[in-house]
Amino acid sequence: MDKNHLIPVYGRYPVTLSHGQGAEVWDVNGKHYWDFLAGIGVNSLGYGHERILKAFDKSQNLLHTSNLFWHNPGIELSNKIAELTGGYLSLWVNSGTEANEAGIKLMRRYGKSVGRSAILSLTNGFHGRTMGSLSATFVPRYQDPFAPLVPDFYEVEAGSLSALEEAIDQFHPCGVMMEPIQGEGGVVPLPRGYLSQGAKLAKEAGCLVLIDEIQTGMGRTAQWFAFQSEDIEPDIITVAKGLGGGIPIGGMLAQEHVASHFLPGEHGSTFGGNPLASQMALAVIDWLEAEGLEHIRKMAGVLEETLGSLQRDFPDLVLGYRGQGLMWGLLVSVPSSPIAAQALDRGLIVNAPQPDVIRLLPPLIVNEEAIGAFFHIMTQVLQLTREQREGA
Ligand SMILES: Cc1ncc(COP(=O)(O)O)c(C=O)c1O
């Protein structure tokens, strides 16, 4: 693994995965892991789920068509999204960053009609790594190596309505982008009421509101979209990650009067929304509708209680936990990376998106047995961490 031919942009764990089933995976040496990260919120139905396998089967003889043609899975998927959202139109791409890129272009396109181009996004947010979405991701270690970025993007302090109001007055933006819970930022929910009041301020000023549901959407927070906890009707919703159950698909969903600013030929993607990806997304949505959302609600309660137990057992190490549904950040008083590494050693996959946060994004099919195993392994890891700290 030291000598490979990949461009080394990733810090990988020294583990080569081989196969999985449910919420469990095995590496090439036969070692077993409980997966509480799900490919960073992607493998929503875990591994080897029969709905996913059936969707593969159905797609076998038409994986791709290009967007010069219609295909039934694509038509069904967009109909389903319209039904779930109350009429949003969809544009399909292949990843989260591309979904946001499409949203940024649509906001700019709308901006042309009103003479505006500024786009606002929040401190500590993450919207992706292509030049447009990176320009909306105000994290210096991601942005600085690639400056100059796309002009006319501005950072606004997350959670402050007065900061948002000031920025709207100052920049007259065509759009504002926000995640309801900042995932890469360390699972940080926006303060209650901020989304709805912020959206109201923006809309009154003629500014479009894009809600980035790439990590929080498609059941992750025990509802279709995290913004549904608040009274808000976004102009644009972006989705990806868990939507395809492991197959790349991203979507930019927009209200019809907003979507209509795009004219034929102004945006597109060769692969976007191909029959395979659409069929997989339909499989995930069907599961969520039939049983998934209810299952997630139940498991969310079990997981939240488990996190409470960890905090009670280790108040010196676990300072708190935040999140919703099956998306949680455990706040720790010691560096989080060694904790994630020790968990991996003991057969539990979690990650450390911030130096003081352990993130949990288990597959949405996670069950009580898996949550029990998570508790058991985390208890061992925290016990060891405590002993090491006391011995130091
Ligand atoms: C909220 C949010 N937006 C956008 C992205 C970018 O998605 P992708 O990595 O699929 O391009 C991510 C990825 O972590 C994300 O969490």
- Nearest alpha carbon, ligand 1 atom 3: 127
Per-residue burial over 261-280, b = 16 or more CB atoms within 10 Å of its CB, e = otherwise: bbeeeebebebbbbbbbbbb
Alpha carbon 370 to its chain centroid, in Å, reads 22
Angle at Cα 10 formed by Cα 94 and Cα 93, nearest 5°?
5
Q: Is residue 358 part of a domain?
A: no
Residue 215, ligand 1, Cβ within 6 A? yes
Q: How many A from CA of 183 to the centre of ligand 1?
A: 9
| 264 touches 83 (CB < 8 A) | no
Question: Could you tell me the CA-to-CA distances from 385 to 21, 36, 46, 382 in Å, in that order?
Answer: 30, 20, 29, 5
Residue 101, ligand 1, Cβ within 6 A? no
Separation CA 215–CA 226 (nearest Å): 10
Partnered with residue 253 across adjacent β-strands are 90, 237
Residue 240, ligand 1, Cβ within 6 A? yes
| 303 touches 101 (CB < 8 A) | no
Strands 24-27 and 17-21: antiparallel
Residue 183, ligand 1, Cβ within 6 A? yes
Separation CA 110–CA 2 (nearest Å): 48
Q: What is the pLDDT of residue 381?
A: 98
Q: What is the pLDDT of residue 4?
A: 85
Q: Is residue 313 part of a domain?
A: no
Q: Is residue 4 part of a domain?
A: no
Q: What is the pLDDT of residue 44?
A: 98
Half-sphere exposure of 41 (CA within 13 A, CB side): 26
Q: Is residue 302 part of a domain?
A: no
Helix then strand then coil, % of the chain, to nearest 5: 40, 20, 40
Token pair recorded at residue 45: 């139905």
Rounded average pLDDT per 10-residue block, the chain, 392 residues: 83 96 98 98 98 96 97 98 98 98 98 98 98 98 98 98 98 98 98 98 98 98 98 98 98 98 97 98 98 98 98 98 98 98 98 98 98 98 95 82
Q: What is the pLDDT of residue 56?
A: 96
Separation CA 298–CA 222 (nearest Å): 9
What DSSP state is assigned to residue 266? S
Separation CA 125–CA 132 (nearest Å): 14
Q: Is residue 384 part of a domain?
A: no
Q: Is residue 315 part of a domain?
A: no
Q: Which residue has the tokens 């979904």?
A: 99
Q: How many A from CA of 390 to the centre of ligand 1?
A: 38
Give the CATH number, domain containing residue 100.
3.40.640.10
Q: Is residue 106 part of a domain?
A: yes
Q: How many A from CA of 383 to the centre of ligand 1?
A: 33
Q: Is residue 220 part of a domain?
A: yes
| 315 touches 307 (CB < 8 A) | no
Q: Domain count for the chain, please give it.
A: 1
Hey, is 202 helix, strand or coil?
helix
Atom of ligand 1 at shortest distance to CA of 100? 4
Give the domain range for residue 272.
63-287
- Name, in order, each residue with C-beta under 8 angstroms of 211's C-beta and a sequence gap of 6 or more: 177, 178, 179, 180, 195, 225, 227, 232, 234, 236, 237, 238
Q: What is the pLDDT of residue 1?
A: 57
Residue 96, ligand 1, Cβ within 6 A? yes
Separation CA 235–CA 255 (nearest Å): 6
Separation CA 37–CA 370 (nearest Å): 12
| 173 touches 120 (CB < 8 A) | yes
Q: How many A from CA of 312 to the centre of ligand 1?
A: 33
